[in-house]
Amino acid sequence: MVHGLEAEYFGRVKFSYLDADDPNTVNFQRELGFVYQPEFYLVDANGVVLKKLVGFISEDNFRSLFAEYLN
């Protein structure tokens, strides 16, 4: 589902993926406050976390979130 949204919002939303099992990402995980998979972060162009979502998120919820922040 996330990959479908990535294609749909290509050029407007950049999707990045964090490998929680990669020891090289531990410091970044701490900065984000990562504790549980799945977690989704909406981050602005300056790296500021605008919204953190934990657990299952529906496509409609993602679309609503993107609509709120893309305007």
The CA distance from 32 to 14, in Å, is: 17
The band of 71, judged by pLDDT with boundaries at 50, 70 and 90, is: confident
Give residue-wise pLDDT tens across range 11-68: 999 999 999 999 999 999 999 989 888 999 999 999 899 999 999 999 999 999 999 9
Whole-structure pTM over 0.95, yes or no?
Answer: no
Find the DSSP H helices in 9-46.
26-32
Total Cβ atoms within 10 A of residue 62: 19
| Backbone φ, ψ for residue 69 (5° rounding) | -95, -15
For position 67, what pLDDT does the model report?
Answer: 95
